[in-house]
A and B are shown apart, each in its own frame.
Chain A
Amino acid sequence: KAGVTQTPRYLIKTRGQQVTLSCSPISGHRSVSWYQQTPGQGLQFLFEYFSETQRNKGNFPGRFSGRQFSNSRSEMNVSTLELGDSALYLCASSLVTAGGPGNIQYFGAGTRLSVL
């Protein structure tokens, strides 16, 4: 069974540009979460999508947005990039059940974004 796949693995952009990152969850998983990881702030929750609906949202500006498609694949978009957006962006999927091991989050390898 394939794991969580994130594309691209590396990205270099300049300030003011926008970027779209992609995440394909494990087959059958309907929940997809996005996190930003930086040396200074650690891992911070961006948002979670479940059945094409945003279910949770972290404390990030509106420049960060996402969506989920009917096949559970998810995209994250960052508009008007700033230097501080340079980070490792991680996607996680989980098989949502009413409690139990279904809440295990499985992470992809991440997309390393550098903003110049």
Chain B
Amino acid sequence: KQEVTQIPAALSVPEGENLVLNCSFTDSAIYNLQWFRQDPGKGLTSLLLIQSSQREQTSGRLNASLDKSSGRSTLYIAASQPGDSATYLCAGSYNTNAGKSTFGDGTTLTVKP
């Protein structure tokens, strides 16, 4: 069974701190892994997608890594800001060209001014 786990469920950090969010998946046959951000009551915003052949992707202050052998992905946020406060979800896709993803339960991040 393909499962995606995110720990911790919640994280609170002071503004300016660098932080890492964790995502674990049980099936190493993952095709790609996508990180999303969700603000309360809103839809999901795509942050980064890593293909199974890649090790990492970067966008601005965000860096996502993928290690298939250990079943782990991390999202690194540099110099956190209060506007980064949101729930961060990771999702694994196991089929090529298929829009079926298995989601973790998310990590709710609070960045305090």
Contacts and interface: CB of A to CB of B under 8 A. Distances in A.
A98 interface: yes
Contacts of B44: 90, 92, 107
Interface residues of A, number: 35
B98 A99 contact: no
Given A103-B49, A104-B34, A109 B97 contact: no
Nearest to B46: A104
B49 A109 contact: no
Contacts of A6: 43
A interface secondary structure, majority? strand
B28 interface: no
Nearest to B104: A42
A107 B43 contact: yes
Contacts, number: 76
Contacts of B18: none
A75 interface: no
A106 interface: yes
A56 B99 contact: yes
Interface centre among B46, B49, B98, by most A CB within 10 Å?
B98
A107 B45 contact: yes
A8 to B, nearest CB: 14
Contact of B99 (A43, A105, A110): A105
Interface in A49-65: 50, 55-56, 58
Contacts of B24: none
Nearest to B105: A42
A105 B89 contact: no
Contacts of B102: 45
B31 to A, nearest CB: 8
Interface of B: 31-32, 34, 36, 41-46, 49, 51, 89, 91, 93, 95-106
Given A33-B101, A107-B45, 20 more contacts: A31-B98, A42-B105, A43-B89, A43-B91, A55-B98, A55-B99, A56-B100, A58-B100, A90-B44, A92-B99, A97-B97, A98-B96, A100-B51, A103-B51, A103-B93, A103-B97, A104-B34, A105-B101, A107-B36, A108-B43
